[in-house]
Amino acid sequence: MKVAVISVDSPEESRDLGKKAGLTFLFLSDPDATVIRAYDLLHAKQGINGHDVARPGEFLVDSQGIVRWVNLTEDFRVRARAEQFLAQAKQLK
């Protein structure tokens, strides 16, 4: 299993955030929100100074690119707990 994060932040901002938080998984940058829009996660003009941001969401995608589990929220502070995510991932095996 591989974990990746995607945001509208620049590659440098994403790298610095991951480093500051001690995170070692892949951070991807989507400054034009192409992928974020494809997953219907864009919060247009909801960020600082009216910038577009991504709505929080967690996805489990299998090796064929099929989305197998989704957790969406309107509140960036609400995320799936690690044990929830891992339980869903184990069901894919």
Three-class secondary structure of residue 10 per DSSP: coil
Question: What one-character-per-residue DSSP string does 51-67 give?
Answer: --EEPPEEEEE-TTS-E
Residues 6+ apart with CB under 8 A from 35: 6, 28
- Give residue 3's pLDDT: 78
Whether the model clears a pTM of 0.75, i.e. scores above it, the answer is no
pLDDT 10s digits, 25-84: 888 888 888 988 888 888 888 878 888 888 888 888 888 888 888 888 777 677 778 888
Query: Domain coordinates of the chain in residue numbers?
Result: 4-92
Residue with tokens 């990746």, as numbered in its chain: 4
Domain 4-92 grouped into CATH 3.30.70.20? no
